Structure 1
């Protein structure tokens, strides 16, 4: 199988994953976003009420400007959400397909389907799950707008370390497998990754801008965000593995037919 085959399969798997992620995000995640926005709006209304009372008493001077949102909430939660999940799904699926092509034959004696599934699992853990544990998703009402750039930079930095860590872990696992055997090699690779991300988690600064945000809404929002990520990666892994396995079996059947014909 060629790299192009893996890429095409990855893009298709990513498209399916984007659809699945949209369904999960819309049904489970959007209600939590609405709750957070309602809470934020209630807080803003209360602030304006206090300011108006102060202005009426002559203690402050201010002016308000109420600007309508450029994109309605309905559009954000439907078309905007679908566009985002589909785009992310296709990108992640394509990258996973390319990495699966690179990993073919380099992950021990695993067949293409098993090798592809392992690559998808490592991608999910290193790119989404572990970074989520360090910097979990936060609702719209949480966090200052002045720190969004620094918070985004921290997340990207930790993701980079996590991905590089899993690549280093694979290299350690391959070396240890050649030196000892498969099981010790796997344990050594996993241990190497745990060490890298643990050191990184301790080194990277904490982000705590929750304030008095309700814990129940925060918990529900983060659970729904994690479910969306897991749905996307589960479909990428399952669909890509199935597509790769089908192509591999077809290619093996064709090669067997050619070998049989050549032997006649």
Structure 2
């Protein structure tokens, strides 16, 4: 049955990718166009020639964006289904829909919000090309540490649940996560390469659009996958608390 859950997760991810593409096309791409226009004006003011366009802008905003979010959605949906299969029956008496929504919320915070607070998304023309490797490495370091901290916090919750109870153990795990992340974010270097003349409104709208795309992606996956799995559980029946769903 894990294989069927994987297929459902990838299906939910593909649908989420389509919805995210529509959102990004309408909300995000206009901000990218403005950022590119700013970059072109700055190059022209410096007397620098325009860089050759390897991929046309319509292709980037259309097929390129669609391909990216579809592949990302399918991969995330598949991984999400595996986490769901493991967690189902292990985190209390919560049904499939509720668990799927809860895991999507946790994943959104751990994978998107926390790394983004330290290293937010930037539009074109923001950032020194010579530091892209360092910036990428720091972002993925923050991402990996956020995931590791979340796993450690969940271990704390499990270790203290018998003594503190479910609610207090959950609070203890959350506090541990916040403390660890705070120390990590204060320890990692700050990167601020936004040009002084770059429009603040464009930067703000771009980052809101990037965050909005992630909200759409994770919300769709969490709700749709939960609905698909809940129907499967209801129709076929499963034993909870095992490493994978088992048909009765």
Superposition TM-score, scaled by structure 2 size: 0.92
Match of 1:143 among 93, 113, 127: 127
RMSD: 1.7
Q: Does 1:183 align with 2:167?
A: yes
- Structure 1 residues 1-40: Cα deviation after superposition (integer angstroms, max 9, x where no partner): x321221111011001111111111100000000000000
CA contact under 8 A between 1:138 and 1:221: conserved in structure 2? yes
What stretches of structure 1 move > 6 A for 4+ residues in a row? none
Equivalenced residue count is 239
- Larger radius of gyration, structure 1 or 2? 1
Q: Does 1:32 align with 2:31?
A: yes
CA contact under 8 A between 1:107 and 1:174: conserved in structure 2? no
Bigger Cα displacement from structure 2, 34-43 vs 97-106: 97-106
Alignment of 1:15-164 (within 5 A): 15-48=14-47, 68-164=52-148
- Equivalent residue of 1:14, what SS? helix
Alpha-carbon distance in 2 for matches of 1:118, 1:175? 21
Match of 1:229 among 211, 214, 223: 214
Unaligned stretches of 5+ in structure 2? 239-246
CA contact under 8 A between 2:100 and 2:223: conserved in structure 1? no
Q: Does 1:241 align with 2:226?
A: yes
Unaligned stretches of 5+ in structure 1? 50-63, 260-264
- Equivalent residue of 1:143, what SS? coil
CA contact under 8 A between 1:134 and 1:201: conserved in structure 2? yes
Match of 2:157 among 173, 177, 183: 173
**1:195 alignment counterpart:** 179
Q: Does 1:215 align with 2:200?
A: yes
- Equivalent residue of 2:89, what SS? coil
Alpha-carbon distance in 1 for matches of 2:124, 2:167? 44
Bigger Cα displacement from structure 2, 113-122 vs 154-163: 113-122
Superposition TM-score, scaled by structure 1 size: 0.86
Alpha-carbon deviation of 1:102? 1.3
Alpha-carbon distance in 2 for matches of 1:211, 1:158? 24
- Structure 1 residues 39-74: Cα deviation after superposition (integer angstroms, max 9, x where no partner): 00000011117xxxxxxxxxxxxxx6x663121000
Alpha-carbon deviation of 1:230? 0.6
Alpha-carbon deviation of 1:155? 0.4
CA contact under 8 A between 2:115 and 2:142: conserved in structure 1? yes
**1:262 alignment counterpart:** none
- Structure 1 residues 93-143: Cα deviation after superposition (integer angstroms, max 9, x where no partner): 111111111112221232333223222221111111111111110011100
Alpha-carbon deviation of 1:160? 0.3
Alpha-carbon distance in 1 for matches of 2:55, 2:235? 48
CA contact under 8 A between 1:108 and 1:174: conserved in structure 2? no
Bigger Cα displacement from structure 2, 39-48 vs 169-178: 169-178
Alpha-carbon deviation of 1:158? 0.3
